[in-house]
């Protein structure tokens, strides 16, 4: 079986059953944590449309979005890779139920794409600047980590700096004010353009942004557009 077919098979099973098994054998609901099939298809199609070979993701969770990204990458060629950061993939977080018990990593293994994914079990706000310092470059970023305003803001800023000029930032959960406000800053002050928006029920809305010219990172420090 081709790897792309394995990816589709695992992803289809996860979405169809709607549950996953934790390390302790307990069953957990996939939704609304994971993105749905409509948003996932859009994410995959943007990876393909952009001809992306290097992608980055904040938040791995149950890896449904990662499988959609990997499917798109595999359609684009063989020299492809993905980076994902999720501090609670295996380790427990400060609140009950925040650990994913390694479900996402096991799904990637089952789908045959674990070797494509460079995984960091750390906060994305720590990982992304480190990648920038190392001179890493990406074609597309998917933002779906913690949804506190300050974290989303940093994820957007660092993702934008990591992307090639005019790269794509695909943002999940834009129905949340903390996420939409962070996007407004990038649109108003960095001249990012909204390429697409959509929703899939009350728990998931998304927005696709194309980053602006790199010179916007060096605009006069007195230049500021209120985004409130």
The model's pTM is 0.94
- Give the per-residue pLDDT at 95: 55
The domain locations on the chain are 3-218
Q: Are 225 and 188 in contact (CB under 8 A)?
A: yes
pLDDT exceeds cutoff 60 at 151: yes
Task: Determine the CATH number of domain 3-218.
Answer: 3.40.50.150
* CA pair distance 190, 121, nearest whole angstrom: 30
- Give the per-residue pLDDT at 94: 58
Higher model confidence: residue 100 or residue 218? 218
pLDDT exceeds cutoff 70 at 96: no
pLDDT > 90 fraction of the chain, expressed in percent and rounded: 82
| Other Cβ atoms closer than 10 A to 197 | 14
Torsion of CA 92, 98, 100, 104, to 10 degrees: -120
- Give the per-residue pLDDT at 90: 81
- Give the per-residue pLDDT at 100: 82
145 closest CA partner among 171, 180, 109:
171
Least confident of 1-15, 69-83, 88-102, 131-145: 88-102
- Give the per-residue pLDDT at 30: 86
Model confidence at 98, in pLDDT bands (50, 70, 90)?
low
Between β-strands 205-210 and 193-199, what pairing exists: parallel, antiparallel or unpaired? Answer: antiparallel
63 closest CA partner among 94, 40, 38:
40
* CA pair distance 11, 23, nearest whole angstrom: 19
pLDDT tens for 7-65 read 999 999 999 998 887 766 778 888 888 999 999 999 999 999 999 999 999 999 999 99
- What average pLDDT does the chain have? 93
- Give the per-residue pLDDT at 92: 67
Burial letters for 94-107: b for 16+ Cβ neighbours within 10 Å, e otherwise? eeeeebbbebbbbb
**What are the structure tokens assigned to 62, written together?**
């149950």
Residue 181 in 3-state DSSP?
A: helix
């Amino acid at each position: 079986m081709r790897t792309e077919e394995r990816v589709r098979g695992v992803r289809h099973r996860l979405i169809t059953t709607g549950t996953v098994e934790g390390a302790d054998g307990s069953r957990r609901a996939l939704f609304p944590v994971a993105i749905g099939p409509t948003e996932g298809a859009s994410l995959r199609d943007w990876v393909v449309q952009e001809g992306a070979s290097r992608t980055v993701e904040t938040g791995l969770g149950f890896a449904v979005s990662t499988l959609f990204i990997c499917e798109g990458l595999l359609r684009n060629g063989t020299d492809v890779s993905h980076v994902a950061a999720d501090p609670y993939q295996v380790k427990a977080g400060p609140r009950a139920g925040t650990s994913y018990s390694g479900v996402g990593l096991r799904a990637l293994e089952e789908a045959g794409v674990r070797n494509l994914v460079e995984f960091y079990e750390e906060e994305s706000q720590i990982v992304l600047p480190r990648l920038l310092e190392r001179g890493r470059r990406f074609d597309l970023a998917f933002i779906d980590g913690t949804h506190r305003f300050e974290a989303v803001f940093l994820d957007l800023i660092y993702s934008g700096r990591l992307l090639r000029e005019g790269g794509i930032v695909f943002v999940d959960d834009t129905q949340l004010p903390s996420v939409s406000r962070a996007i407004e800053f990038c649109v108003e002050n960095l001249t990012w353009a909204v390429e697409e928006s959509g929703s899939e029920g009350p728990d998931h809305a998304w927005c696709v942004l194309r980053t602006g010219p790199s010179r916007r990172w060096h605009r006069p420090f007195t230049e500021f557009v209120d985004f409130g």
